[in-house]
Structures are given as C-alpha cells and as structure tokens.
Structure 1
Amino acid sequence: MAASRRNRQAASRRRATSWRERLPARASVSRWLNGLLLCSALGLVAVLALRAWEGLLAMPVGRIAVAGKLEHVQRDEVRRVVAGVLEGGFVGADLDALRGHLEGLPWVYEAAVRRRWPDTLEITVQEQLPIARWGEEGFLNHEASVFRPRAGSRWQGLPTLEGPPGSEQRLMDYYQRLRDMLAPLDLAVTTLRQDERGQLDARLAGGLRLRLGSEDFLLRVQRFIDLYHNDLEARGPEVASVDMRYASGAAVTFHEPAQVAAVEPDRGQ
C-alpha cells in the first residue's frame, strides 16, 4: 500500500509539473491572439478612417456665399471666379489659391475665404477705395498701390497724379501735403505731375498752374501760400500760373491782358 501511495503521489507530481510546463506556451498563444485581434481592429479603424477622409475630400461645395459691401464687384462674378478655379471639393479646396484669384479682380482690395459646415464656402470681399487717379487709366488706393479697373466713371472727378514708375507713394505724399496746406485758402489740387527729373507741376481748381520744381517742396509751398494770401487772392481768377522755382520771390503770369512779374532765376533748380 505504501508503494501504491508513493506511485500515486509521483504521478500527481508529474501531472502538476506537466501543467506548469504547458502554462507559458498557452500564455504565449493567448498574447499572440490578443495582438492579432488588436492589429486587426486598428487596421479596420484605419481603413474606415481613410474611407471617411476620402469621402470628405470628395464632398462637393454645395453653396458659395459672398459677403461684404459691394458696389463695383458683382457677387455672381465672385462666384464664377471661385467655381472656375475650385478643385478638391469642400474639404480639399485650396483656400489660399482661391483668395489669390479673387484679389486678382481689379476692384478687389482684399478677400477672405473660409469653410462653413456642412458644405458652404464663405467669401468676404473688401473693395478698393480710390484716392486719386493714376495717369489716364489707373487709380491709386489708400496704400498708393495702382489698380486698373475696366470702368470707373464714377471716380473721374478724383485728382490726377502722374509720375515715373515707382513714384506712386512719393507722389501721393506730395499730394496729401499740398492738399492739406492749401485747404485753408480754399484751393483744391486737381492734378499733380512729376517728370523724370523730379520736377513737380500742379494744377489747382480754376486752372491755376503751380510749378514747384524738384527741391525744397515744403518751403516753396509755404512761400506760395504767403504770396497768394498777401497779393494774389483778390485777383485769383486772373492768375494763370505761379512759378516758385526761384531762390526768392516767384514768377506770376496772369490771363489776358498778359502780365508777367519776373524775379531773379534760381540757379539751383
């Protein structure tokens, strides 16, 4: 009986040992299965996400809404421009490229494009504000940038500035200074031109021509103001031109009968 008991105990120990030996193998299989399931789940999620993203990219723009106070730019024109260059659908649309095309329109100063879910592109347009005419066909905006619209008959009464390429900002500064300095005399500037040598020539309302040359701009304008206030204002309609390009004094030309008041020439012109 003792031998039988020892045999049973030995067999029990062998079964326990065998079970413990099989545990690591079963745990390894379990971990492998769990990893496989996790990878499969992640792959499924990635596939679904990719398909969802592809669906979003393919979603068309349902509506183009145009906002902003528009006078010269037609809303239908804005929509046509956007529709003509729109690529990639609602989500895939290149908003920067769309903005660039819109700002290429003559009367558009600035444009903003944004998405409004679920399918609307919202366009906000700010129009150009002409401050002066530039030559025969162009206009200057508030930043002295030239733009050339197809039509601008409403703005034909703006003062005209004209100068060499690259002189826009400088000439705008001259014009604003001259306008502000002459305002107390009720003299308005209608034209200001600068030639290749930098010579400034202005026309005032009523036709008076004011020649300012290329030097001492503020000093010469102030000398004209003093001269006009003290001697010429009473004869305003008779004055044809005033040439301030002299070291002192001025040359004044009157309408018929012709009279010219001459002074010493300015050798430093």
Structure 2
Amino acid sequence: MRKQRRVMARDKRHVTPWWRDARWYRGLFLVLLGGVVMLAATLINSGLNHLRDPQTLPIRQVSIDGDLLYLQRAQIEQALVPFVSGGFLAVDLVRIEQAARRLDWVYAARVSREWPDRLVVHITEQVPVAYWGDMALLNRYGELFAPAAIPDDLGLPRLAGRSVQAQELMQRFVLVQEKLGQVDASAVGLREDARGAWVIELTNGTQILMGRDSDAARLERLLRVYPALVAQRSEPIALIDLRYTNGMAVAWGDARREVAP
C-alpha cells in the first residue's frame, strides 16, 4: 500500500502545468495568426475599396500615342472622354478600347495606365492601299473599311468588284502593274463586274477589256504590240478589247474600232 502511495505521489509531482504545455501555445499561436490574417484581409479590402473610389487617384490626363495621318489627337481625346470614368484602378480599359476602335480610320487600339493619374491610348491607323468603289477603302491586309469621309487625293488605285474577292483583286492589280511596267505603261484601276469580267484602266485613260478569262496570255499578247499601237497614231487609245481568241480590237480617240492581228 505504501509503495502504491509513493507511485501516485511521484506521478502527481510529474504532471506538467498548463502554462508549460506546448500544445497550449500552438493553439494560442493559431488563434493569433487567424486574427492577424483576418485583420490584414480587412485592411487590404478597405484599401482597395478606397483606391477604387472615383475620388481617389482620379484620371487627370489621357494621352494619344501613335503615328497619325488621318486622325487628330484632339478628336480622339474628345471622343473618349465620356468613357473615362472612375479612379486610376477602377477605370474600364476594355470599354475605352472598344470606343476607340469604333472611330473612323482606327485599325487597332490599346489602353494602358501610367501611375498615378494618366491613361495612354495607343492607336494604330488604317493604312489604305486602294479605293474600293466609291464608298470604301482597302487596307494593306486586304480588308475593307468605310470611313465617313474619304479623301479624293490619296493617289491610290481604284478597284471595284465583289467584296469577298477584295484581296484577290488587289493581288491581280499588283501583277498587272508589274507587267505593264515592261512597256512603260501604268494602271490606275481594276474592276470586276457581277459576271466576273474585268477591266483595266491605265493612267492615260485607256481601258483594257479582259473579259471573264484572266489568262495571263491575253495580257502578254497586248504587251507585245502595245508600243506599236501607241506609236501608230497621235490620238490617245480609248479602248483595247482583248476578248478575242487570236487578236484584239482597238479604239482610238475618234472611237473607231479596228482589229489588230
């Protein structure tokens, strides 16, 4: 009995007090850590809400960047002002970009922030390479665009045809221009009608009827005799009709038509 009492007494002497228990400190640490995290999250959220407030860090300047030929910077700024709302972080960049792309002559637009109160709108203008009919232009990617006002003095070739073939027609014009350069001639226009017949117009006003067949052999036939046709008369050539199997019809300024072998 005495031995049992001594063991129980010894066990009581070895009981660890709660303030020395490591588990208690780990629990306290986790509670404090959770509180710190919640406090930090609250402060961050409050700070973000403050920064999103339109009155905090308001946008004071909108700059237009890009090489502009057809657009004025002041014109772009004026068009975008209604879409610049909210503070530095809250402003909707996508909405501004969409508004910029809707402007005439804008091919692409990108908006970026510059700390602390500035927006930069990067504009890429359309680059026209040809007139398309009377109401549109063709850009360097073979895409049609139709600004409200189209200058008449751009010095571009005039193309016309089905819009789905715009890029193909431009490629054909480039090829024709290269061929005509061999005889010191130059084209200013190429058009294709609904039946697929196409007509070349030269800088001197001569029209070349190619018909629906775009066979390069017809154009080669013209190149062989064109210098002689020009030298044959002092009158300008009004029309050359290549829609013949082995020859061509030519009309000079007096509108008479002759068949050349």
> TM above 0.5, one fold?
yes
Residue from 226, 229, 234 that aligns with 1:228? 226
Identity %: 28
Shift of 1:38: 0.7
Match of 2:257 in 1: 260
1:53 is the counterpart of 2:51: no
- Aligned-pair distance for 1:48? 1.4
Contact 1:243/1:252 (8 A) holds in 2 = yes
Q: Deviations over 1:69-124 (max 9, x none)?
A: 22321212222333222355322344344323212211112222222222211112
Instruction: Give the aligned partner of residue 153 of structure 1.
Output: 151
Q: Assess if the C-alpha contact under 8 Å between 1:206 and 1:237 holds in 2.
A: no
- Matched AA of 1:150: A
Which digits, 9 at most, give the CA deviation of each residue in 1:126-162, with x for residues without a partner? Answer: 2222211111121111112222223233535422111
How many Å separate the matches in 2 of 1:251 and 1:10? 131
Counterparts of residues 21-36 of structure 1 (less than 5 Å): 22-23=17-18, 26-36=21-31
Instruction: For 1:57 and 1:78, locate their aligned partners in 2 and report how far apart those are by CA, in whole Å.
Output: 26
Tell me by how many angstroms 1:218 deviates.
2.1
| In structure 2, distance between residues paired with 1:71 and 1:178 | 29
CA contact (8 A) 2:250 2:260 kept: no
Q: CA deviation at 1:49?
A: 1.5
Distance in 2 of aligned mates of 1:55 and 1:183: 67
> For 1:46-125, what aligned pairs fall within 5 Å after superposition?
46-58=41-53, 59-125=57-123
Please state which structure has a larger fraction of its residues in helix: 1
Equivalent AA in structure 2 for residue 147 of structure 1 = F
From the superposition, tell whether residues 126 and 154 of structure 1 become closer, same or farther in structure 2 (CA, over 3 Å).
farther
- Per the alignment, residue 267 of structure 1 pairs with none
1:216 aligns with 2:214: yes
Please say if residues 244 and 251 of structure 1, whose CA atoms lie closer than 8 Å, have aligned partners that are also in contact: yes
Of 102-111 and 55-64, more deviation after overlay is shown by 55-64
Structural mapping, 1:158-169, within 5 Å: 158-169=156-167
Whichever of the two has the greater Rg, that structure is: 1
**Does the aligned pair in 1 maintain the 2:108–2:123 contact within 8 Å?**
yes
CA contact (8 A) 1:193 1:200 kept: yes
Separation in structure 2 between the aligned mates of residue 221 and residue 56 of structure 1, nearest angstrom: 69
| Letter in structure 2 aligned against 1:31 | R
1:209: Cα distance to partner? 0.9
Task: Quote the Cα distance in structure 1 between the aligned partners of 2:93 and 2:170.
Answer: 34
TM-score (norm 1): 0.82
User: Secondary structure of 1:180's match?
Assistant: helix
Gaps of 5+ in 2: none
Q: Which amino acid aligns with 2:71?
A: V
Give the partner amino acid of 2:108: E
How many residues are paired up?
Answer: 256
Kindly provide the amino acid, as one letter, of the partner of residue 33 in structure 2.
L
For 2:187 and 2:87, the matched residues in 1 are separated by 51
Write the letter of the residue equivalent to 1:132.
A
Provide the C-alpha distance between the structure 2 equivalents of 1:154 and 1:51, rounded to a whole number of angstroms. 58
Pairwise CA RMSD of aligned residues?
2.9
Alignment check: 8 A CA contact 1:63 1:119 kept: yes
What letter is aligned with 1:39?
G
Structure 2: distance between partners of 1:102 and 1:214: 42
2:189 and 2:201 in contact (8 A); partners too? yes
